């Protein structure tokens, strides 16, 4: 049995006592929310709680929600934050561009006062980050790279060569052997987008 109705992303569907969260949903504070726009499906197995999932319409958009790990590209940096474009949510490519900001205080978990943005990211770096708050009117998401798994995954040196991470804060150009500072991600292979 399934019940379909158009749903909006971020919409509260029901409480976790009524159902189990399926694909296209997330739970927060005891409620199940839709993480994408699409159709709501309820499937119940014998006596168990129904599973609620949201099936995306082919043309609808997956949205970065709080807690999602996203792959983004750095556009610009200044002393207070890095501006990025979000390219993927998990391993799903986005159809349209979402903008994000990684503030200086959200780059690392420790020694936040010593963090320097230009020693963490450079324009065109590919970064894994986590969404910590949803966008404002300009759809600008706040992102964090404070966990070890998050940070720069792909960076090119000034010579244009993809650099190799040599520590949690440095990458090296294999051609020139020049070292550059970055907030390096300890990459989990399932997130690696090239």
pLDDT digits (tens, 9 = 90+) for 137-147: 455 899 999 99
Mean of pLDDT over the chain: 84
Say what the pTM is.
0.66
- Kindly state the tokens that stand for 162: 């993809």
Taken in order of first residue, the domains within the chain and their CATH numbers are 6-55 (2.40.50.100), 68-150 (2.40.50.140)
Tell me how far apart the alpha carbons of residues 60 and 145 are, in angstroms, rounded to a whole number.
28
Please give the pLDDT value at position 59.
46
Transcribe the chain into DSSP letters: -----EE-TT-EEEETTT-EE-TTEEEETTEEEESBSEEEEEE--TTSPPEEEEEEPTTS-B---TT-EEEEEEEEE-SSEEEEEEEEETTEEEEEEEEEEEEGGGS-SS-GGG--GGGT--TT-EEEEEEEE---TT-EEEEE--STT-EEEE-B-TTSPBPEE-SSSEEE-TTT--EEE--B----GGG---
- Kindly state the tokens that stand for 81: 């934050």
- Kindly state the tokens that stand for 157: 């040196």
Please give the pLDDT value at position 139.
58
Of 173, 14, 165, 151, the residue nearest 69 (C-alpha): 151
Mean pLDDT in residue range 115-135: 92
Give residue-wise pLDDT tens across range 57-114: 654 556 788 888 999 999 999 999 999 999 988 878 887 778 999 999 999 988 888 8
């Amino acid at each position: 049995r399934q019940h379909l109705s158009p749903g909006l992303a971020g919409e509260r569907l029901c409480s976790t006592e009524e159902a189990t969260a399926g694909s296209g949903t997330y739970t927060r504070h005891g409620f199940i929310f839709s993480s994408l726009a699409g159709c709501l499906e309820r499937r119940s197995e014998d006596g168990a709680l129904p599973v609620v999932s949201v099936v995306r319409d082919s043309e609808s958009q997956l949205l970065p929600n709080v807690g999602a790990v996203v792959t983004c590209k750095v556009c610009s940096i200044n002393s207070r934050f890095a501006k990025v474009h979000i390219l993927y949510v998990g391993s799903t490519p986005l159809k349209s561009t979402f903008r994000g900001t990684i503030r200086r205080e959200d780059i690392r978990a420790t020694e936040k006062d010593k963090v320097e943005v230009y020693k963490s990211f450079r324009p065109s770096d590919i970064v894994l980050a986590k969404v910590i708050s949803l966008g404002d009117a300009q759809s600008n998401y706040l992102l964090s790279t404070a966990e070890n798994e998050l940070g720069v995954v792909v960076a090119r040196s000034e010579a244009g060569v993809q650099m190799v991470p040599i520590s949690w804060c440095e990458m090296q150009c294999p051609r020139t052997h020049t070292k550059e500072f970055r907030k390096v991600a300890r990459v989990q292979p399932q997130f690696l987008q090239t």
